[in-house]
Amino acid sequence: MHVHILGICGTFMGGIAAIARAAGYTVSGSDRNVYPPMSTQLEALGIAVTEGFEAAQLSPAPDMVIVGNVMTRGQPVVEALLESGMPYMSGPEWLARQVLKDRWVLAVAGTHGKTTTSSLLAWILEHAGLKPGFLIGGVPANFGLSARLGAGRFFVIEADEYDTAFFDKRAKFVHYRPRTVVLNNLEYDHADIYPDVAAIQRQFHHLVRIVPGGGRIVWNAADVRLRETLAMGVWTPLEGFARAPQPDALWTAQPAPDAADYSHFEVFEGGRPRGTVQWPLIGAHNKENALAAIAAARHAGVDVPQALAALRSFEGIARRMQLRGEVRGVRVYDDFAHHPTAIATTLEGLRHRVGSARIIAVLEPRSHTMRMGVHRDTLAPALAGADEVWLYTPPDLGWDTGAVLSALGARAHASADVTALARELARAARSGDHVLIMSNGGFGGLHDKLLAELRRPA
């Protein structure tokens, strides 16, 4: 059977392509701005990719067209698809029908931490010999890929609340029908889709409604909006976690005395010590992600000692505080943080690790919500943990960052050009500095450009 994927180069749709190929389908696809690493990954899988969204790519006709949520009415291939009458469905629907229907699905939802928690959970199951399938919005180093069909009963999926397709405006995660759900947190995001946080809570409650009574909902018991969401009705046993002891939190953790950066901590179940984790990840938020993964894995049959052993061998995730290089004593990191809460917690974790060393934070306001200026009032406080801040301010940003820069004072700088920004950062950085580059996109190759500038003779 031949499936053709529209919008194949996104992380989710590229994962769909890899899974379909592994399941024996003939796979092709199309996208705009086709470039590595996704283009090379697809090429390695033997998947032909067409540049652009012209109608001709549907001839000869595939057996099924899978439509990514990047696709909109008016694009030639979409109009041709609708006129043709050939079968089509969204990526989440195809995945649910062809892959997930006979699997024990473990879905990880939340505004923050989905990729890390999904990666941890998949690795725990793998370490226990369960050979899970997975589809994750990042690349866990232990696997070296973001999606796998898997040979076992279990399938781990990063469950996104973004809408499904131009013809299906429900959140993606309602398609997955999970047996185990992790709810990490809930904040306002995706302002291009949801008018307020209550609208997002309703979508999360739709997910809660489809978890069977014999399933499990693992939730952050410290999150007020999750608590409000669950108060709308829940029919599944709950298992809470939190970074510190509190009501409804079965799982908690305590950092070791020598680990202010939370890279070493002890896990407690109902106040009873269960063991320790020492790993390369940092930050209190990752301690929470670990607790969620331990609880979800136990619901799937992995005991706590096995889970802790797996976490101790976890190697991290691409673009999550990933060290891209060190030149002249300047360390350059890549991180996916793009929401004020994630920015603040990422900076907090790095601060605990580097102590009084200078942190230079560099942010690309790239998400739809960020570009709409929704976070303009919370952005400066989120960046306050850095010693120097650079904001990328392209001409089409859509709002004036002046108030943010003013609130941060003399430490704040703006640049409208990535190449110029790399030069400015290289001039400002000195040995011992930590440059944290944050974006949910490629940031115009800033990481490599900065490292190249740092290598230039003085």
What is the mean predicted confidence (pLDDT) over 110-125?
96
pLDDT score at 35: 67
Q: Which amino acid is at 355?
A: G
Helix (H) / strand (E) element for 395: namely none
pLDDT band at 28 (very low <50, low <70, confident <90, very high): very high
pLDDT at 367 (0 to 100): 82
Where does the pLDDT of residue 304 fall: very low under 50, low under 70, confident under 90, or very high at 90 and above? very high
Q: What is the pLDDT of residue 36?
A: 65
pLDDT in tens, 41-99: 888 899 999 999 999 999 999 999 999 999 999 999 999 999 999 999 999 999 999 99
Domains of the chain: 2-90 (3.40.50.720), 99-312 (3.40.1190.10), 322-455 (3.90.190.20)
pLDDT of 18 > 90? The answer is: yes
Burial of 387 (0-12, 13-18, 19+ CB in 10 A): middle
Residue 14 confidence (pLDDT) above 80: yes
Per-residue pLDDT, averaged over 378-382, amounts to: 92
Across the chain, mean pLDDT equals 94
Say what the pLDDT of residue 442 is. 83
| pLDDT top residue among 198 and 375 | 198
Check whether 310 has a pLDDT greater than 90.
yes
Instruction: Decide if 289 contacts 115 (C-beta within 8 A).
Output: no
DSSP class per residue in 345-357: HHHHHHHHHHTTS
405 pLDDT higher than 70: yes
* pLDDT at residue 437, as a whole number: 95
Query: According to the 3-state scheme, what is the secondary structure of 102-119?
Result: HCEEEEEECCCCHHHHHH
Report angle CA 290, 296, 298 to the nearest 5 degrees: 100
Q: Tell me which residue has tokens 């909006």.
A: 225
Q: Which two tokens stand for residue 202?
A: 């309703």
Residue 64 pLDDT: 98
Residue 34 scores a pLDDT above 80:
no
Please write down the HEC assignment for all residues of 156-190. EEECCCCEEECCEEEEHHHHCCCCEEEECCCCCCC
Q: Is 203 helix (H, G, I), strand (E, B) or coil?
A: helix
Highest mean pLDDT among 127-131, 382-386, 391-395: 127-131
Confidence of residue 37 (pLDDT cuts 50, 70, 90): low
The model's confidence at residue 197, banded by pLDDT at 50, 70 and 90, is very high
Looking at residue 420, what is its pLDDT?
Answer: 93
* Whether pLDDT at 243 is above 80: yes
Cα-based distances in Å from 259 to 61, 281, 355, 379, 400? 58, 11, 12, 28, 40
To which H or E segment does residue 330 belong? Answer: strand 330-335
Residue 452 has pLDDT above 70, yes or no: yes
Q: Does pLDDT of 213 surpass 70?
A: yes
Q: Compute the distance between CA of residue 176 and CA of residue 281 in angstroms, rounded to an integer.
A: 29
The answer to pTM > 0.85 is: yes
pLDDT average, residue stretch 387-397? 92
